[in-house]
């Protein structure tokens, strides 16, 4: 028995075992755009493979880092919040689940604080999204080739789930490729610059012309300005911002999909006000109004874990049509947190976002840029959705922050943000 135990621990220190701890995050990242089930199964396997390799002292140091500690605090609050929640205990503990994924952050930070293979994860995600991009264009041109049924009001060009999820993934690839192409240009590798730039434009074209979620327009502009400010000198950046502004009317005129999605907001609002029809815009306004009323009732510690679904279910009783549909969140991350855990929950949520944003915006390199895009994208999109607690966007946040944050912690980076002259690029390493 002792010999078998020794053999097991010896095997966990082998090169094969160590490599497998890098391969599973790669597979998890590749699965996010395609399958929720596969991602969870791979994640469980990875945790089981990783646990024997953890060095307790180093892991404890990672956990004490504010980047990990803030995420743990939010999950802890969700668990403690079950004590003052109402309803069946099973419902309360199920409501902890959406926040519980944040417990993977310390593990990812720890592992990629030791591993040199964060770029494997970036590349796997890019390849996976590129395949999804090709599928999206294909069914946009030939709709009858769509083999699955996506969720949403308009599934044109959306092979899986919905346009919001797809845009979130594609925009991350867009700005990752944009950073990589700039670096290739500065290194004089024109072919790489052309290929990376062309692929980035393909992702942008898909978002704007094929399957546009209105939420993506909010973070697209913010990240574009952040990109220009990060990768170009001040004078060039100012000119490029004006150039981006000049592109807006061109895109408006050239994209019927963009015009339709934007102008429909006013139509939806008018129909909601005049006929009480449950349009997307009208529903959000109603959910937000109801949420604010509930927050006023328990502003400090909220109504407890699981209260959001319970309150919205009660509000739907006696109503008809779409207004009677039972929803689990108010389509705003801050309101979602405030209903359950009040001002205390909001402070922890904002502290976590601040710690994560600060980590990436105060360091240079490709990993810092990817992390910055993930965090800014999540914060901006969470104005209109509860993306931190949603599946695809939530796991994209956890994996993105965990892998990119770990890579930064591994370098012990003390460098300033990327200058316009020299910027490391992990994606283009061999």
C-alpha triplet 401, 407, 411: angle, nearest 5°: 140
CA distance 355 to 70: 8
At residue 428, does pLDDT exceed 50?
Answer: no
CA distance 263 to 216: 16
Quick check: 295 and 338 in contact, CB under 8 A? yes
CA distance 163 to 181: 26
pLDDT band, residue 412 (cuts 50/70/90): low
pLDDT band, residue 425 (cuts 50/70/90): very low
Report pLDDT for 108. 96
% the chain with pLDDT above 90: 49
Report pLDDT for 415. 44
pLDDT band, residue 427 (cuts 50/70/90): very low
Residues 6+ apart with CB under 8 A from 212: 163, 167, 255, 257, 258, 261
Report pLDDT for 217. 85
At residue 149, does pLDDT exceed 60?
Answer: no
Q: Which of 51-55, 100-104, 420-424 is the least confident region?
A: 420-424
At residue 154, does pLDDT exceed 60?
Answer: no
* Residue 16 burial by Cβ neighbours in a 10 Å radius (0-12, 13-18, 19+): exposed
Helices and strands: H and E segment counts in the chain:
18, 0
Q: What is the pLDDT of residues 277-314, one digit of tens each?
A: 666 777 778 888 889 999 999 999 999 998 888 888 88
CA atoms within 13 A on the CB side of 367: 29
Q: What is the pLDDT of residues 235-280, one digit of tens each?
A: 777 776 767 666 667 665 566 666 666 666 666 656 666 566 666 7
At residue 324, does pLDDT exceed 50?
Answer: yes
Nearest Cα neighbor of 28 from 390, 408, 398, 410 is 398
Residues 6+ apart with CB under 8 A from 101: 394, 395, 398
User: For the chain, what is the mean pLDDT?
Assistant: 84
Please give the average per-residue pLDDT across 153-174, as a whole number: 85
At residue 422, does pLDDT exceed 80?
Answer: no
Whole-model pTM: value is 0.86
């Amino acid at each position: 028995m002792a010999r078998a135990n020794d053999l097991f621990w010896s095997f966990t220190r082998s090169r094969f075992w160590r490599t497998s701890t890098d391969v599973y995050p790669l597979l998890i990242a590749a699965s996010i755009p395609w399958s929720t089930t596969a991602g969870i199964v791979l994640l469980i396997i990875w945790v089981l493979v990783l646990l024997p390799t953890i060095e307790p002292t180093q892991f404890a140091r990672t956990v004490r880092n504010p980047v990990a500690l803030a995420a743990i605090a939010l999950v802890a609050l969700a668990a403690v919040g079950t004590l003052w929640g109402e309803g069946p205990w099973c419902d309360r503990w199920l409501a902890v689940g959406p926040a519980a994924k944040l417990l993977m952050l310390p593990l990812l930070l720890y592992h990629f604080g030791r591993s040199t293979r964060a770029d494997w994860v970036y590349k796997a995600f890019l390849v996976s999204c590129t395949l999804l991009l090709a599928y999206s264009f294909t069914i946009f041109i030939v709709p009858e080739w769509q083999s699955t049924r996506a969720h949403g009001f308009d599934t044109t060009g959306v092979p899986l789930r919905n346009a919001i999820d797809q845009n979130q993934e594609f925009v991350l690839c867009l700005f990752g490729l944009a950073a990589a192409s700039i670096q290739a240009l500065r290194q004089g590798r024109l072919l790489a610059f052309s290929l990376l730039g062309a692929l980035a434009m393909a992702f942008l074209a898909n978002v704007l012309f094929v399957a546009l979620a209105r939420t993506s327009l909010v973070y697209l502009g913010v990240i574009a300005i952040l990109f220009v400010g990060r990768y170009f000198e001040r004078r060039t950046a100012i000119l490029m911002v004006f150039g981006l502004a000049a592109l807006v009317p061109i895109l408006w005129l050239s994209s019927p999909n963009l015009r339709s999605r934007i102008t429909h907001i006013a139509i939806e609002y008018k129909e909601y006000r005049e006929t009480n029809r449950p349009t997307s815009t009208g529903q959000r306004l109603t959910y937000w109004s109801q949420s604010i009323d509930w927050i006023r009732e328990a502003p400090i510690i909220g109504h407890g874990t699981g209260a959001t679904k319970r309150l919205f279910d009660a509000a739907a009783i006696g109503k008809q049509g779409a207004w009677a549909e039972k929803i689990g969140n108010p389509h705003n991350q801050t309101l979602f947190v405030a209903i359950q855990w009040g001002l205390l929950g909001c402070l922890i949520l904002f502290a976590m976002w601040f710690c994560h944003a600060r980590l990436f915006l105060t360091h240079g390199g490709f990993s810092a840029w990817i992390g910055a895009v993930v965090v800014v994208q999540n914060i901006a999109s969470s104005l209109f959705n509860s993306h931190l607690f949603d599946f695809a966007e939530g796991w994209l946040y956890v994996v993105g922050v965990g892998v990119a944050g770990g890579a930064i912690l591994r370098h012990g980076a003390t460098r300033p943000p990327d200058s316009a002259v020299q910027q490391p690029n992990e994606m283009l390493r061999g």
